[in-house]
Structure 1
Amino acid sequence: MANSVQSDSAVLVHFTMKLDDGTTAESTRAGGKPALFRLGDTSLSEGLEQHLLGQKAGAKLAFTLQPQEAFGISSPDLIQYFSRREFIDAGEPEPGAIMLFTAMDGSEMPGVIREVNGDSITVDFNHPLAGQVIHFDIEVLDVDPVLETLHADSAG
């Protein structure tokens, strides 16, 4: 068991992410359920992983990541326009709603409805926090936690 976070560690953390205006974007503390991440699996940004490296259980961190270090810069190439008739089966989209779209390769990707204007519907496929400065408050609860699994009792 590693006593500090390494480049391939699993880390159990409580975190709060806030935007520049103080709005909480996400927090594990509200629900009381910590999050489990594995460094190096691309679920965390490189900037966030750099702050976690070397930390030990019990560490409390507060730091800010610029958009390019957090969820990326918002790309105009990821904003697409659809005709209202393409939404006939899905129903009337509302601005702010997140919908799943099927890509050409069959994979699904979420898109945020940004605008409904006449026959045109604007969908943003950028990460919802792209382009935002993110303020993190993280508490490392455990490094490489032993995950409890259910075992069938083999005693006979």
Structure 2
Amino acid sequence: MSELNFGTDLFSEFDRLQRQMAGLFGGFPSSIRSGPFGAFPQINIGSTDDSIEIVAFAPGVDPQKLDVSIDKGLLTISGAREPSPPEATGDDMRTYAQERFIGTFRRVIELPQHADPNKVTAQYINGCLSVSIGKRETSKPRAITVQ
């Protein structure tokens, strides 16, 4: 009978195995709410006492081509990023590699139940779409006086 000796703790070996498997299959989301690898636009989601803050990093997108909507607890951000005009890149240029996303996109974000769809603001500044969604009054923290 052979004895297994990993040389380190078992959890670090599982972590190493998970990283190898993720590399083999292109990466898996860390949770059910995680977006697909390489999704555009990349987003940050945070919270304050009064609101849920979402920032979508979408440089080069025409703000007129952005659509933000909320339906049944889902925030949808969609739009299109056009290719650079030919005069900016040169007519005789041949592309060997392209990492910049071009085309239509759509991101859907599940909102928490305490998000109020009637209190939404969105603005696009310097390539970032900032969406602020107010929280329902009943979900806001409040101080309780001890008697």
Report the TM-score range of the alignment, normalised by the length of the smaller protein: under 0.3
Bigger fraction of residues in helix: 2
Query: Greater Rg, structure 1 or structure 2?
Result: 2
User: What TM-score results when the alignment is normalised by the length of structure 2?
Assistant: 0.26
Higher relative contact order (CA 8 A, sep 6+): 1
